[in-house]
Structure 1
Amino acid sequence: MTDTREAAPVATGSRLHLVFGALMLAMLMAALDQTIVATALPRIVGDLGGLSYLSWVVTAYLLAATASTPLWGKLGDIYGRKGIFLGLIVIFLVGSAFSGIAGNIGELIAARAVQGLGGGGLIVVTQAIIADLVSPERRGRYQGVLGGVFGVASVAGPLLGGYFTDNLSWRWVFYINLPIGLVALVLAGVFLNLPRGRQDRPRVDYLGMALLAAGVVCLVLITSLGGTTFPWVSPEIIGLGVASIVLLTAFVMVERRAVDPVLPPALARMPVFALASGIGFLIGFAQFAVLSFLPLFLQVVNGASATASGLLLLPMIIGMIITSVASGQVISRTGRYAVFPIVGTAMVAAGAFLLSTMNSGTSTGLASAYQFLFGLGLGLVSQVLVIAVQNNVRRDDLGAATSGATFFRSIGGSFGVAVFGSLLTSLLATNLTDLATAGRLSTADVATAAAAKNSPTALQALAAPVRDLVTGAYAQSLDTLFLIAAPVAFAGFLLACFLRDGSSS
């Protein structure tokens, strides 16, 4: 295998710092917009209408970002990452601007899809550019900081969204990207110097790209619509499942014959890539179960406001920052990375298990400790997997390898949210029905309790004894989700035990 140590141009000094600043800003924008819109949705519907299409404001972004992730990585390999990176910033800013000025829900959904095209690419290309700029020995230091930025932005998004919505306008959720993106665009345009791409005029695998994108769209639609818009066992969801299998099977067949495949089959045969992808999928699955539903626990069971629940997530953010940055520093000094995913997945599993023991009487300090442990584990896994893959591929495949590893984590997160969301609905319905059957809740109380999933303040309409019963049902249901996330993360731990230190040689 070609040694990436010699192929990567090494950047140093103030130019590197300015370019890295641009990369951090790009990562900040893309990560924020995965979650920042959530707390603004009720106000958006109040202004634009279209309640029945509300979920598509989130789904459109997720769909475009996930489907395009592998494509941007490959295009960067072919044409050079500077032009692709600058183009992605422009696409993202155009989507942000049109999201901000949207006059109806349809315009907003379309603009969010444009945002997703840019955002999904920015996360991948930003990580690949680091591998272009610095040698393998130094990548950990910078990838660790990027991981910290991603973690902070992902968790802080709802908090910032609520602040903008309450104090300015929901439109500022999108407008805030414009100054950030323009600074990143100028810094990268002036100071980022990268190779222009491959000189052998490769044939772009358009058929493979189309099949992969279509197959991923079907998968994301299954996770977004299954159990909500349509039952899991319905003609629509089954049809999407069959379509995804057919399209992705066709993609694999095309890739085997393609001159320059989107995801080179040789990558899948590399143990480190296969392991990193599997671990990423499982940790993404477990991670988003906690990130998506822990705020609901804090608001419904503990009675925290939306803003307070965001602040209560700070221990998790701090944990992610500490280990993401620290692990990167250690990898840069020692060249060893295999131990971090092993320890990290174990900590994620332990953290999820401890979170499953919480109830309304759990102290804030204890809950914070559980979150901190969970965050420490996440920080040891996500960026380290990217480093492991990058250090074991040829420079010509850096983008494809980076996007592949990121893609599987995104798909895992999508499935995690969908599966755990449906499971929560089922568990909650069972627990509330049991209380109603026992004569402890009225039919009206059950309806109010079910509505609290989308509006926790609805519980304030219930009498105190009834509210205690309902919060208990929520705690029991959510604890089950966290408990299930623990063995999922433990499966990631078992895979991580097979990772071995090493770099391309």
Structure 2
Amino acid sequence: MGKPPSLSGQPVGLEREQVPLNNGGKAKKPLSFYMTFLALNICVLLVSLDATALSVAVPVITHALNGTTLEAFWASLCFLLAVVAVMPIITSLSDVLGRKIPLYASFIIFITGSIVFAVANSMGILILGRVLQGLGGGGLDVLGEIILADITSLKERPLYLGLFSIPMAGGAICGPIVGAALAENASWRWIGWINLPLGVTGLLLFFFFLRLKPIEATLASKIACLDWTGMVLFLIGSTLFSLPLSWAGALYPWASYKTLVPFILGFLVLISLSFYEARPVKPLFPYRIFKSRTATFTLIGSFMHGAVLNGGLLYLLLSFQATFRDTPFRSAIEVLPICVFIVVFSIVGAVSVEVLRKYKLLTIAAWPCLAVGVGLFALWKPGVSDGIKYGPQVLAGVGLGVLFTICTFPMNASQQVDDAGIAIGIMVSFRMFGSTTGLAIGSTVFHSVFEQRIAKLGQLPGELAILHDVREAVGFIPFLREIDHSLPAYNAVIESYTVSFMAVFLALAGMGAVGFIFSFFIKELSLENDEIGRQGFEGN
């Protein structure tokens, strides 16, 4: 016999259970909660490591597999594109079907992709592995934050989010170092193999300890509620929109039909999706999430943060390799200041909210640190002092770190408790879409400025002549250390790289300034809410 409905309209089985209180008046957490939290940390560490480890190893892998510049481009890009495409879909699936099915599927796809990557004997197979890793990794990344929102109340979340940010940001630090070390001293294939023990451990922990309240409905009714049309429209629209953003200026000019046609089509499909989303029972992007002014401007801020974070870190590594002729491994060491401060201040941001119970002033203060710090990267040139090299990294790391965790609080505070998971999923999707845009803006600015600078140098001698094809500029960076430094145009070429990176950093700093302006429109909302959503942890 079914359970009778409660006064709230929810089945009795979905209401929060009474749990014992400790002496401090707080509900005790069961062991299964802490083991689940450990699994969440493993989950985000895994994705964070994998997303950044390949960035410095692509030239080595391309050379080992006799790949082309175009294949190297896709090897770097396909992971991020897959992540962007899958995140909102996984968020919607988990909101309708429950978290476990999408979670386990994401693990299996990610582990399969890691094996395909590790055994690849051609660039085509390697790219397939990266696509699978992106599809699985995107699911793991977004579900990690969604499940954290499920199993904690808004009131207690700052503490757990501070702890959660350690592996999240720590993986971003270790990724380039691990990738460079394996590619230069062992085998690049270990970038794939190291995912297996972590992945299997996380999967087993979730299987035995993740105890979320079930959604009381038949599988058939759940599937009928899914926004299938919205998923298809988003998949098509985001792919068509993101691809030309990624190759504009690098593979094809902005004015080329190969860039403009898919870009315009993708934009139109996404616009049509925004109108269509008023119709489904369980839309991919529910209108109610965007009704709050605070939520809207938080999403814009997350977009800008993702753009500066991912675009900045990539071009930071490339800048050290080109301007200072560092090896990939050395460049990964050189960016440790910004990475360390991102980790430290992502924790500081969350702990500050835990203590102050406020987030608006912290948000407003973080953006100038980000914008000024990234803008000061433009001062880099051969021979600069260590203070100019590392000081701006510290400042940018403070801003990036605080914003890494703090955007979660206004996003959740502006929503109903049952929408916490889907709201966070949408916010993470916006951050990743911002990452794609930031990389696209960086690529466009870099290649445009570099092409102009190289054209002014006239005919380049010997090995430098390849740079007349601007598409070879990034791929040629590792060879700058090896060619004859006494070539007549060598220093002028290095200056061309330096000025091009300067333009990229100024463009990203401008995006940080936009984020700063929009942060004033966020409201200070209460965080004093002890409720757990409908898919909360059993026992809370």
Task: Give the structure-2-normalised TM-score.
Answer: 0.86
Residues 47/467 of structure 1: CA separation in 2 closer, same or farther (3 Å cut): closer
Deviations 1:89-113 (A, max 9, x none): 1221111112212233222222221
Amino acid at match of 1:96: S
Confirm whether residue 190 of structure 1 aligns to residue 208 of structure 2: yes
SS at match of 1:136: coil
Partner of 1:138: 156
Partner of 2:24: none
Number of corresponding residues: 498
Deviates more, 1:185-194 or 1:196-205: 196-205
Alpha-carbon distance between aligned partners in 1 of 2:336 and 2:16, rounded to the nearest angstrom: 37
Alpha-carbon distance between aligned partners in 2 of 1:238 and 1:429, rounded to the nearest angstrom: 20
Deviates more, 1:301-310 or 1:333-342: 333-342
Amino acid at match of 2:95: D
Deviations 1:160-202 (A, max 9, x none): 1121122322111111100001111111111221112354845
Given that residues 93 and 178 in structure 1 are in contact (C-alpha distance below 8 angstroms), is that contact kept between their aligned partners in structure 2? yes
Confirm whether residue 62 of structure 1 aligns to residue 80 of structure 2: yes
Q: 1:20 aligns with which of 25, 37, 44?
A: 37
SS at match of 1:38: coil
The gaps in structure 1 that reach 5 residues or longer are: none
Deviates more, 1:11-20 or 1:212-221: 11-20
Partner of 2:230: 208
SS at match of 2:169: helix
Match runs of 1:99-498 below 5 Å: 99-197=117-215, 199=217, 201-202=221-222, 203-436=225-458, 442=461, 445=464, 447=466, 453-459=474-480, 460-464=482-486, 466-498=489-521
Given that residues 374 and 508 in structure 2 are in contact (C-alpha distance below 8 angstroms), is that contact kept between their aligned partners in structure 1? yes
Residues 103/473 of structure 1: CA separation in 2 closer, same or farther (3 Å cut): closer
Alpha-carbon distance between aligned partners in 1 of 2:28 and 2:142, rounded to the nearest angstrom: 20
The gaps in structure 2 that reach 5 residues or longer are: 1-7, 9-13, 18-26, 530-540
Given that residues 81 and 436 in structure 2 are in contact (C-alpha distance below 8 angstroms), is that contact kept between their aligned partners in structure 1? no
Percent identity, please: 27
Alpha-carbon distance between aligned partners in 1 of 2:254 and 2:16, rounded to the nearest angstrom: 47
Amino acid at match of 2:440: A
Given that residues 391 and 503 in structure 1 are in contact (C-alpha distance below 8 angstroms), is that contact kept between their aligned partners in structure 2? yes
Amino acid at match of 1:498: F
Alpha-carbon distance between aligned partners in 2 of 1:461 and 1:47, rounded to the nearest angstrom: 20
Residues 367/268 of structure 1: CA separation in 2 closer, same or farther (3 Å cut): same
Alpha-carbon distance between aligned partners in 1 of 2:501 and 2:124, rounded to the nearest angstrom: 33
Residues 495/342 of structure 1: CA separation in 2 closer, same or farther (3 Å cut): same
Deviation at 1:503, TM superposition (A): 4.0
Alpha-carbon distance between aligned partners in 2 of 1:8 and 1:93, rounded to the nearest angstrom: 35
Deviation at 1:320, TM superposition (A): 0.8
Deviation at 1:13, TM superposition (A): 5.3
Partner of 2:53: 36
Given that residues 143 and 387 in structure 1 are in contact (C-alpha distance below 8 angstroms), is that contact kept between their aligned partners in structure 2? no
Given that residues 76 and 197 in structure 1 are in contact (C-alpha distance below 8 angstroms), is that contact kept between their aligned partners in structure 2? no
Amino acid at match of 1:223: L
Amino acid at match of 1:179: P
Alpha-carbon distance between aligned partners in 2 of 1:370 and 1:472, rounded to the nearest angstrom: 21
Residues 7/347 of structure 1: CA separation in 2 closer, same or farther (3 Å cut): farther
Given that residues 327 and 380 in structure 1 are in contact (C-alpha distance below 8 angstroms), is that contact kept between their aligned partners in structure 2? yes
Alpha-carbon distance between aligned partners in 1 of 2:430 and 2:477, rounded to the nearest angstrom: 32
Deviation at 1:348, TM superposition (A): 0.4
Root-mean-square deviation over aligned CA pairs:
2.4
Residues 166/444 of structure 1: CA separation in 2 closer, same or farther (3 Å cut): closer
Given that residues 99 and 174 in structure 1 are in contact (C-alpha distance below 8 angstroms), is that contact kept between their aligned partners in structure 2? yes
Partner of 1:501: 524
More helix by share: 1
Deviations 1:338-368 (A, max 9, x none): 2222111111011012211222122223311
Deviations 1:418-451 (A, max 9, x none): 12212111212222333448xxx65864546965
Residues 445/228 of structure 1: CA separation in 2 closer, same or farther (3 Å cut): closer
Deviations 1:218-258 (A, max 9, x none): 12212222222222112222221222123112212221111
Given that residues 300 and 474 in structure 1 are in contact (C-alpha distance below 8 angstroms), is that contact kept between their aligned partners in structure 2? yes
SS at match of 2:56: helix
SS at match of 1:170: coil
Residues 353/174 of structure 1: CA separation in 2 closer, same or farther (3 Å cut): same
Given that residues 297 and 475 in structure 1 are in contact (C-alpha distance below 8 angstroms), is that contact kept between their aligned partners in structure 2? yes
SS at match of 1:135: coil
Given that residues 39 and 206 in structure 2 are in contact (C-alpha distance below 8 angstroms), is that contact kept between their aligned partners in structure 1? yes
Deviations 1:388-430 (A, max 9, x none): 2123323432332112111112112111111221211121222
Amino acid at match of 1:131: A
Deviations 1:473-498 (A, max 9, x none): 22222112212222210110011111
Deviates more, 1:85-94 or 1:102-111: 102-111
Deviation at 1:276, TM superposition (A): 1.1
Alpha-carbon distance between aligned partners in 2 of 1:209 and 1:448, rounded to the nearest angstrom: 42
Deviation at 1:158, TM superposition (A): 2.2
Deviation at 1:314, TM superposition (A): 0.8
Confirm whether residue 49 of structure 1 aligns to residue 66 of structure 2: yes
